[in-house]
Amino acid sequence: MEGAVRVQILSQGISEVPSQYIQPPKNRPGSVTENIADLSCKHVPAVDLSSEKESVLPAIREACRDWGAFHVINHGVPTKLLDDLRRACFSFFNDFPMEDKLKYACNPNFAASEGYGSRLLVSSENETVLDWRDYFDHHTLPLSRRNPSAWPHFPPEYRELMANYSDEMKALVQRLLALMSESLGLKASCIEDAVGEFYQNITASYYPPCPRPDLTLGLQSHSDIGAITLLMQDNVGGLQVLKDGEWLLVDPLPNAILVLVADQTEIITNGQYKTCVHRAVTNASKARLSIATFHDPAKTVRISPVSDLVSKSSPPLYSSVLYRDYLSSWYSNAPEGKRNLDKLLLDTSNYCSALYAIKKRNKHSQVLFHLWH
């Protein structure tokens, strides 16, 4: 069982937050950009998947290049399933005794272990600032990892709803990755082929009311480490995305699912599609729930830019990386911003110079002809 105190308990009857939850001044939320109704260019885009592909592809391309995030509507996931799962997850956190919930506590000795927890990163450092949230992480795919007996049995429909939602998210993410590939002029299976079999985790996050939302974060600034994340919000709101150096609040869109481009897709698309840096802020009056579905490669998969997006004019921006090593770096160094991804950036000027020198030495080589074309 995880030894950390749950934030839900800490939040009851206090006027100040414990020091380990207070963010350093540079990371504190400060003012939130909420009134953006007159700034339509700063709304996270929404893509209607029921529209003709001729309009869907350019909309996805623009959203992935400019934002790394977009809502999808008319996505085919039953609204009743969305509502029922939100209700069941909120009920688990809000309606049942802590004693019963702690029976599903995470293993404190392993990072991101399945179960009920409050502290994602395993660290002995007292300097770690904690997030103002509790969560339940479910290992859902491949099916060999799925063990519903490790999930809450209360409310009674919880396990069935989570399994059904997992299957719906897999189908939706396959559809989305195909559209993202086609929007770049690639074959529909390109990005999914590069990722391989999905390792899917579903994390339900519960953000209790916080007496000092100006000092805390529900979830610190980060980009997701996998390939793509699908997020379902409730109607409270609190997610912010970083756009042009400014934190913007993402208003929940009824029945929509928010798509977040993650680090491995930025690598695969050679930087054409940008990972989304985001965080969660807290509020003083109302608990918030979100459900994030992460789709990652297997640890043995090596990720690199796809060859069709690499050319003389577009050299590879990232070095290839074994996903196991990327995970290790993320958990060792903490997830602030997208600094783990930035470590893989190549010096493209050196790359171009090297290629030019090789081309001169091997000007009759058919191998180089194919490399440059």
The Cα 340–Cα 328 span in angstroms is 10
pLDDT of the residue at 109: 77
pLDDT of the residue at 342: 87
The Cα 123–Cα 120 span in angstroms is 9
Which has the closest alpha carbon to 310: 184, 172, 205?
A: 184
pLDDT of the residue at 371: 30
Question: With pLDDT > 70 as the criterion, what percentage of the chain qualifies?
Answer: 85
Contact between residue 295 and residue 341 where contact means Cβ atoms under 8 Å apart? no
Output the six-digit token pair for 66.
């400019």
Is residue 124 predicted with pLDDT exceeding 60?
Answer: no
Output the six-digit token pair for 64.
């992935």
Q: Of the segments 1-5, 36-40, 218-222, 329-333, which one has the largest average pLDDT value?
A: 218-222
Which residues are CB-neighbours of 74 under 8 A, at least 6 positions away? 48, 49, 50
Confidence of residue 38 (pLDDT cuts 50, 70, 90): very low
Question: With pLDDT > 90 as the criterion, what percentage of the chain qualifies?
Answer: 78
Q: What is the pLDDT of residues 302-336, one digit of tens each?
A: 999 999 999 999 999 999 999 999 998 887 776 66
Question: What residues does 279 pair with on adjacent strands?
Answer: 240
| Torsion over CA: 231, 160, 139, 220 (sign) | positive
pLDDT of the residue at 71: 98
Contact between residue 133 and residue 205 where contact means Cβ atoms under 8 Å apart? yes
Domain ranges in the chain are: 7-368
Which element (helix H / strand E) includes 98? helix 98-101
pLDDT of the residue at 338: 60
| Whole-model pTM over 0.85 | yes
Instruction: Supply the Cα-derived Rg of the chain in whole angstroms.
Output: 21
The CATH code of domain 7-368 reads 2.60.120.330
Q: What is the pLDDT of residues 334-367, one digit of tens each?
A: 666 567 888 889 876 555 544 443 344 333 333 3
pLDDT of the residue at 108: 75
Question: What residues does 247 pair with on adjacent strands?
Answer: 242
Q: What is the pLDDT of residues 174-230, one digit of tens each?
A: 999 999 999 999 999 999 999 999 999 999 999 999 999 999 999 999 999 999 999
Q: Is 112 helix (H, G, I), strand (E, B) or coil?
A: coil
Output the six-digit token pair for 345.
């950036």
Confidence of residue 127 (pLDDT cuts 50, 70, 90): low
pLDDT of the residue at 331: 79
